[in-house]
Chain A
Amino acid sequence: MPPQNRILDRGDDDEVCPVCKSSRYLNPDMRFLINPECYHKMCESCVDRIFSGGPANCPVAGCHKTLRKNRFRKQTFEDINVEREVDIRRRVMQILNRREEEFDSKRAWDDFLEQREEIIANLVTGTDVSKTESDLQAYASENVRSIRANQALEAQEATSFQEQQTLEQEQARLRRQAARQEYEDERREILAGREDVISRLASGKPTDAATIAREGQKILLKKSSARRSEEERIRQKQAALRNSDAKKAGAPVATTERAGDTGLIKGLKKIKTPEPEKPYDPFMGMVPNKRDYYTLRDHYPSGYLDPIRQDTRMQAGGYDVREYYSRTLLEAFAGLGCFVDEEVSKRDASTALGLSRPATEGAAMAAVTSSGLNDEKI
């Protein structure tokens, strides 16, 4: 419920603590605090006095909210209603922090924004509070991971925005420096070129003068255009790097979760997580040598097999009696727990029912009879 009492202007000297009635006039250092439970204002010393010993009821008459000291804070907005709405908004936005890229369409995203505003408005105006709150809680608990991921993303964006700013400033500085350097270099070269021309003119024949001057000009032009294209290349490269950085930061955090079963939010994309790359498994999930009925030994006593163990030729050919052990023991137990009568009647039924092609009249007939048989058994 919004607080009933009107709040006095903070700047007023005659501001009085509604609890202890002391006024700023008498105590200029007095600071007022509020608690977002009920937004009743009181002075810092009242808070210390009442809540230092642990949670207690709000001292304002008629307000029975239990308040904790650590939740008291300074008021940001003059209007306590605004303060409250901002709090509510922050809280809701933290939970319903879906991002546009998570939605199927622009429309779905807009619907989501509208829905969020409605929830905020409900909480602010006190309409349907309990239901709204419980919806919100349910959503929060079902989407913990996605909420956290999006929060992290926001934080990351905030920092990367700052980094971007700094980076750009730094680049601008470097560019300026480079430009200055370039100007200096150019000036130096022009001077040097001139000197060169002069010295060549001085040593050469007068008829060459025009040619020498022209050449000098050409070299200068070539150099500066080469420099410019090299700079251009670097600049483009940097721009490309920036773009790919930006892309990386902006990529939606994938999550396999969909809005929970409450379905509070509609129109979310079904996003598949690009699974974190698992280490390569050369067996692709199968477990070598795993057995349930027996443990294979490296050697079994057997008079039947002894001659092989002594037969040099068989040994040299690579015949491996362990393969025989492995095979006989596997065959000793393979299927021991397969109960044919059960499994076959079950699968007959499922084949019959799952058979999408009623190929012939007879097949359909067989399907009916065999499933009927099965029913009797169950």
Chain B
Amino acid sequence: MIEDDIYRTSSQFRIWSFTEDSLKQLRATTNTIASERVRAALRRAREARQSAAPSAAGTPTANQSGSEADGKGPGERIIECLTPEEEQELVRYYCEKTVELGETYKPPMPTIVRATAIQYLRRFYLTNSPMTYHPKSIMACALFLATKTDNYYMSLRQFAAGIPGDTTQEDVIAPEFLIMQSLRFTFDVRHPFRGLEGGIMELQAISQGLGQPSPLQPQQTPEDLRRGLSSIPPAPNASSSQSLNDRLARAHHTTREILKSAAQMTDAYFLYTPSQIWLSAFFLADKPLAEFYLDTKIGGPLSSLRTKLLTTLTNCSNLLSAYKPLSTDPEQMKTLRRIAKKLYHCQNPEKANIAGQKRIPAAAMSSGAATAAGTPVAGGGSGESGAESEMERLAKKRKLEGGGSSGTKADDMFGGELVTQRNKQQGPTSHPEAG
């Protein structure tokens, strides 16, 4: 089908479509790498504290982690990291928070902008772990990025001002590049919303005897279609007196609600195509109506496709109907609090300050380079491969100098009640970034 080939050219299909297995595998890999890195980083941090304590100025030169790290200190606790499932739960929570954040703006942000931001978050956490980058620091930026990519542009100042709490512009924008890189620089998200509008529009045309035969079933007449539509069995749980128009409107509304919630918070976008997603939601909203519509498209000569498609749509419907919003479910919230607590212990300290990594002032660059003189990171073959390491090194440097994080303010944003604040326990050593 030509429409399918069109979809196949999209980056969503090329890069962001997975089988359940490959999705699982990818999340497992991400989790493994992040866990290892968290353990290593915590080890380094501890060693740094130990070595920094005696020497007043805290000369970081001694901190050549390699050899020392191997000999594990006797008192080292085993750090328990998040499991991939726990990570997913946490991300889901922040996806729901994204919807709320979008709602706080006046006027509220368009559904599509919020949905794009959620998909950015979900894509981001396929190759990043919440242990490395906390979702609360990524969420706002993902939403801001979505306003830019979905033509709902507002200034960063305006955007930051709209966030409850005192999140600064810098807090918002800091992880932007990191997010873009994790999105592999594909910003286009294909949503099911517009497709739903198209389907409803066509059904309305059919109901008024204006239906057009599908190209593969040219024998259809507008009258056949109209009669077919008016003779479908009533939806389950609906009054029989309901007019066709009301029925369409109702199905339209229900479907849209599913698309705004369940479709966003599950893996639907990764596993199915937008047209499959809206039709699956439509099946949940009004099965007889959805079946009728599908049959006008792929009855007859395509029946093998029909069987196959029904299986896929059923799977997708099941995925969508299994979704329960976290925040309204005390049981899930309890689990979530546990995960948040666990995360507090396994958050990668070197990545906590994204803002610090964002821009490297020239002065810091040169001093950083001096510090790095002994480390064989830069140079090398490609000359550019040391970029990230350089940033990391600077982050470490900051860590050693101040251990600071601008996270304090971001905590207030949302989920303040959820996530224990690391800085409280770190004591007064932390101070916000200059400026």
Contacts and interface: CB of A to CB of B under 8 A. Distances in A.
Nearest to A339: B312
Interface of A: 290-297, 299-302, 325, 327-341, 343-345, 348, 369-370, 373
Given A331-B274, A344-B22, A294 B297 contact: yes
Contact of B297 (A293, A344, A348, A370): A293
A345 B22 contact: yes
A259 B105 CA distance: 74
B13 interface: yes
Contacts of A369: 25
Interface in B180-205: 190, 192, 194-199, 201-202, 204-205
Contact of B19 (A296, A301, A344): A344
A294 B217 CA distance: 10
Contact of B215 (A295, A328, A336, A340): A295
Contacts of B2: 290-292
16 contacts: A292-B3, A293-B3, A293-B215, A296-B212, A301-B204, A328-B201, A330-B6, A332-B196, A332-B197, A332-B198, A332-B199, A332-B202, A334-B4, A335-B276, A337-B309, A373-B21
Given A344-B18, A348-B22, A334 B198 contact: no
Interface in B296-322: 297-298, 305, 308-309, 312
Interface residue tally on B, bucketed by range = 35 or more
B278 to A, nearest CB: 7
B405 interface: no
Given A293-B1, A334-B195, 8 more contacts: A300-B205, A328-B198, A328-B201, A331-B198, A336-B273, A340-B19, A340-B271, A344-B18
Contacts, number: 147
A85 B278 CA distance: 79
B200 to A, nearest CB: 9
A324 to B, nearest CB: 8
A293 B19 contact: no
Nearest to A328: B198
Contact of A336 (B4, B20, B190): B4
Interface in B21-47: 21-22, 25
Contacts of A332: 194-199, 202, 275, 278
Contact of A334 (B7, B18, B20, B312): B7
Chain B interface, >50% SS class: helix
B9 to A, nearest CB: 10
Contacts of B385: none
- Which of A336, A341, A369 has the most chain B CB atoms closer than 10 A to its own CB? A336
B292 interface: no
Contacts of B213: 295
The 5 A-B pairs at the shortest CB distance, nearest first, are namely A335-B273, A328-B198, A335-B7, A332-B198, A295-B212
Interface of B: 1-4, 6-8, 13, 17-22, 25, 190, 192, 194-199, 201-202, 204-205, 208, 210, 212-216, 271-276, 278-279, 297-298, 305, 308-309, 312
A331 B210 contact: no
A71 B275 CA distance: 72
A328 B194 contact: yes
Contacts of B194: 327-328, 331-332
Contacts of B20: 341
A333 B199 CA distance: 9
A292 B197 contact: no
Contacts of A344: 17-19, 22
A348 B25 CA distance: 13
Given A297-B205, A328-B194, A331-B194, A338 B215 contact: no
A297 to B, nearest CB: 6
B193 to A, nearest CB: 8
A199 B69 CA distance: 126
- Max chain B C-beta neighbours (<10 A), residue from A325, A327, A331, A345: A331
B19 A338 contact: no
B201 A325 contact: yes
Contacts of B214: 293-295
Contacts of B4: 334-338
Nearest to A327: B194
A330 B198 contact: yes
A300 B197 contact: no
Given A331-B190, A337-B305, A338-B273, A294 B208 contact: no
Contacts of B279: 336
A117 to B, nearest CB: 55
Contacts of B196: 332
Query: Which of A292, A296, A338: most chain B Cβ within 10 A?
Result: A338
B205 A334 contact: no
B101 to A, nearest CB: 26
Contacts of B297: 293-294, 333, 336
A340 B3 contact: no
B208 A301 contact: yes
A333 B192 CA distance: 10
Contacts of A337: 1, 3-4, 305, 309
A279 to B, nearest CB: 23
Contacts of B272: 340
Nearest to B207: A301
Contacts of A299: 210
A108 to B, nearest CB: 44
A331 B3 CA distance: 8
A292 B216 contact: yes
A335 B2 CA distance: 9
A299 B202 CA distance: 10
B274 A302 contact: no
B198 A329 contact: yes
B275 A340 contact: no
Among B6, B197, B214, the one with the most A-chain Cβ atoms within 10 Å of its Cβ is: B197
A91 to B, nearest CB: 51
Contacts of A373: 21-22, 25
Contacts of B199: 332
B223 to A, nearest CB: 15
B21 A340 contact: no
Residue from the set B18, B190, B198, B273 with the largest chain A CB neighbour count within 10 Å: B198
